[in-house]
Structure 1
């Protein structure tokens, strides 16, 4: 909490400024600055129930508040959260129980991409990553697929590099790091070239790290991180969790086993002005005694030919790899605030993981050794009945289960309870069960002996696991009911995810609908007018860097096409040799792009953009199209073609364009966009289809007498009718198999010839990403107030922005390459409408947020990986002259029938090197050069709300009475996309604008100091224009102690002449000044009597003076003295602070330590020298509340609390009871 300063109110100023704040409200400013306590009666009781829901993903957001420590400027929340998206078979329980997570502190977690980039120890022969200089240099060199080399050796080095990637000798896929701390949720990625780390969702977050010294091969291990938020808050991650990984794989040389830091826990937080320091202390536990892994990696490849039977029940040659994993966890033991313990956690042994990390109790401290309250965790285990002992069970068969929480006072009195119930807890399967649906949820198929699924390709079915969904099994282990301390409870009802049927869901006639198709054979015109619209020149003169040569135009085609319906489309791109030979992959100067131009769905075939609007004509040929609008780029690092040159792309309605450029007359390009569509005989065939996972259906809140209080129902459809289609969209769909069209060698009986061969590769697991499997574009939230239709409470329609391949997303199949594209608007609500019980619209809101195409992109990096091209499995690598250097090509081996030399006439297939031109050189390697290099992407971008329209409806619908407000937002990329201007347009077209200036823009010494602390986003000046008036609010900061605080706030009001637009010359100005103690607490506030026209404040000019004295470890104001400067009360400060520090009892009058403090405060109040002042004084029980309040008249009110820290009595100055509170909680066992 931003205690005692204006810092937080200023940070949120742009969200809170209103048009009627032109006049300076001195009291309001003061109330925002100093937390003068309200009476305890005015504090609201804790609210239970009313569970919020993430409707985009269909998951309720369930949280149990434990405690929030009120800091001086930074609060520390301690919450228990529950993931209600469903329990997966291989999901392990946290220390709080399966599905639960104790949300306190934070951590940075590695998201391994390929192999860990850095490590403590690796393999028999250590692999290297971009931390190795040679690897980094080659990654930068080969980032754009290389086809032109200075020497023949360079050609070989290129293929050796790809081979090293394929065998894990080098890792060229940089990892990602998930960052979660107080107020920050982001991802971190490294710039390969600079090796600097960047946050991907906020350019103002600063990321630093420390590694071990580099080894001879350049490798090291990241040991610590320091993250500085945009407000200057500093987070330290100084302790790591270590993972030991034994891959048990086929590769016996590189990356077979590795030891690396897999996550780093938050160990310290320093608030922006260093007024709060939180320390998190951990115990490093021994590695787990058990190894938990079932899916690992299992796969097979089967070649399909005319002899393949219709059913292949047990595919031969299954490759399996079950990694052995041990983790040394960091267990949080306690938390300190400014050196004093505030939270301690005790643990007990657990039987599902061999570690002492099942939470036994969380104790809240009062800053001393005294307990404030304790939360006892009541646990048992999933997978067994209540009467079974966990000690005799296999660890993999059970998982920790949180049954409830008992809340006790410091005298061990039980006064509140939570209890939790789950669906079929005893039937939760073993974590090593193979009874999993395609997303890993339990499906009850206990006969599964493997995880790779049954696959049908054409007329052939290959045996495997039944990975179908079964909702009745998938729901097992999920939270079903919460009992609250009030005695009331909430019931959760779930159902399966659904989406409209897709092609794979219907068995009917299908056809391929082609939306665009372009074929281009290359050539180059050596004598062309570059100004001609029929030419393609990167530049028209010899001075620029034109890769085709000055004044030379390659063949090109440029066309547009329309997409009318959002969905998954197939994009195919191939290059073939016009003469029938092999094609050097890429070919210098060959370009291919498909990209979105606009949202117009009727643009026709004529190109919307000319070539010089697509590619930079200045000489570098760089793409001018925003990378997020690119559907396909020959060199694009996001998109991945399979061995047939095909990929799936999610296209939204709009106009798209294709550009092919080709100077090589030996190469023909082909690019096509299509989709398989079906002819449906009956509408029933396209009914909604159930998908894996669960979504919330209803949430019912009951009173302590079992009466239904409220019910919310969630309907996931495009319209509020039972026949409407589901609004579900498949965002991530796991891919378990791939079809490879390659080559095979026939046997001696068939002449030893190379023939076409189709093979299927099937895997048992598929990596996902940060987006859900299914997301919803529209959800109806229906409020029911009872059990009959007449009790309908109306409904709200919610609309969400949907997109694929955002956040951290994966290719889904080996090599499981991950990319990152900021989600921005994805999952954000873009519209809502509220209807009353009669279904009459009350309010409608629509909004537009920045998408990737309109965002500010501040960072980009990449990774490299290789794919195997099976059509080159019998090829030999050659180098040949090309454009003054060399390029690569391939020659197929020549096979024939040759004698074995055994003397018995036996023969075998063997090959000889084919003939080649004299200037071609054969390079024999110990690997098959069937590689193709591709790249992945990491992008840092930030966006925000662009506009929001809110309409309120009044009266009858036929009257069409409405009030509309439109807010538009403008951002400034020069300051990292911060909000620069907000404009509100009212119903009568009146506009109110607010413009902002931030601390990062100013060059005054104090702001330069703030910038070194990374305090960048502080709004310093806000200009509001409305009704021909301009109001400027400016905060002037100074460095005080360890922080920066506003020492004055000024508001200047000007009038605008509506005719000339000129502002007045005599502005009205108000100003409030602040003085501070060195610890950042406000010492005094005042205004100036500007009637003397003095610009320098003096004691005689100060008016509206208020001075403060702070106690109880400088956390609470114990005296507020109006009409007095601090110098007038300074003689009392030291003794009052000491008496407040000594206050450790609860008394009336002047008895005891609290009474001694009251007596000293009264003595100050009664000082004749202060008779002109008004003094209010306070005493406290820290963490509990105010215990007495004495007003300026000297009248005291007392507040007494019971052993459970609840307000019990309010008493007058004579100790008479004015009010009494009784608490009667109904406990549910």
Structure 2
């Protein structure tokens, strides 16, 4: 409908959005949302479905006119636009009647004769309103208003299309004919539109011990993905001959019985996001910038043509992250920043994957069975895409006063797109590299396991890793694997000084590497034995159908364990399920391997350890409740050493209600942010009525987060702040049951936030300390007389010596300040 309201309503899209999480610890997290918004510099890129929306900034009237005179019937005028305007709203209203010489009713036309453009041309016999949002370049515009009357003269008769209420004696009154329009320009120079959906605007975390912590998120550089631009070619289906179900599909994919465009729908991405911590960013800010959205786009010479799509792994990757500290003067100072760049390169099709689609195949006969669409579809495959994309460079900088600590790390990839080089600079400004080699970096002749890795496609398993400093190797690990890719032999580079190593594709074992660990595995890939070069062998026994480890034996090999009576093959033991059998295995191991340390466990499937037996033979028992929560831990004598209880809030109780029905206090107001002057006395009284308790219990007030020099006692915050800065101060009221409520405000300590105390002459009631007076100034309109030897005698008999050259004129009032700010 032309008059349909297509403006987005964010309230509806909030349905089902996560709003609040309340934790058993009585803390909570609250999430606030705001509508998604996109800013445009012109109407050209605005999608059609959004063009009828009003801009969020509102409009101011540029021009308007109206015509309702049937004797005149036509009115023409012009208006000028001095400079280019974007997002102008043009609205019009038509009320017209057709007559023998005019079948169109009333009309409105708006043109730009110079550019030869028709901006609006609308007519209607009846009542109609319309509007559009367009850009108006600078120039002169011509408008024409016409009113359609039933007869050429004024006072039209009743149209036959309008029903007459015969129950009324008075003749019906028809609306007068009308053609009117108005032009409004946006208040701001850009076009900001709500596009539907919501984004997180604020997250507030509350913890009883730490108080409130809020994060406010703002968004910039929005991009709306508003149409399937990444369909490279589209063709409208057309019927072929008499076959209504047979279409000429062209370059369009078909799914089931319909031709569709495969795309992700309307969504928005933001390339810059700011996160402020605490009110006004008191605890700092972070800004993030993100990469734009990437699309799949490759030409195909043969149908079916796959629909292109946005690439999630290339979309909205983090580019920069900057951290800021808020200074006492409210400015933000950069303290750390990091940046990430990514590899570039064209996407290409690959045969590694196929996407099954169906296309309509037209039958050769004229008969069509529309009830069996599969008759006309053939299963075919189209290529999907692989991509070589990853982090290329990461940079980090941190500021410590005037010193900057920076680091840059670069990443390189091999032809299989696996990281094979990570280069950085260490704290001594020396270049460091970590080089990684995989199966495809060797010839099969280098070692039998190299070919095995390639056969099972385990090409991502690292075979050799070398760390170099200044181009020379200082550390290295070499791994030999079994037929399943499990590491069975680990070799370490043992050198007294850095050496130069050159990779040889035909050599698996270079000089300098020595075996430092052997490993063995079960048929299921569970590790069963680790034998280090220096140290005791460890054997692991599995049970519960190869699912859980049931024993660790230190200082015994797998063959020694299997030789113990009551144990046998570890493959057979791994199938044991009964708890009693598992216990017997642990007992047999401790009895048969007296020089080994055996730790055994009995497991509760899907829950955790039920019993743990130490090498000494002493048991620790774990008991769980009906919903698999740990309930008690008992020792070898079945004495409970730990007990766990779980209390949850009654779901029908209000937030802040304990299981016994006690409710937390509630605040009756807030505390506005406070200002204090450094090295000056400060006092603030907290109202005792700031919190109330539902049960009228006595409340205990505490204050946390005060700046240095201030303390709290008996509702009064007092002291002398000694350092500049801003503090988040929390006032907490706690009832006898331990439930509490808090209020947080900000206290800023600056240089001169107060007016220094002073004393006016003539009002002294006691002696004034000479040392307490900091400065004396006069209120007299006339200038102060100069008399270097002048002095001031106070009422109580004390004298204050004025600065050389200054004297108070007789009869002039003055102030004696006791602080540094005036």
TM-score for the superposition, normalised by structure 2: 0.48
Larger RCO: Structure 1 or Structure 2 (Cα < 8 Å, ≥ 6 residues apart)?
A: 1
Greater share of helix: 1
Q: Which one has a bigger Cα radius of gyration?
A: 2
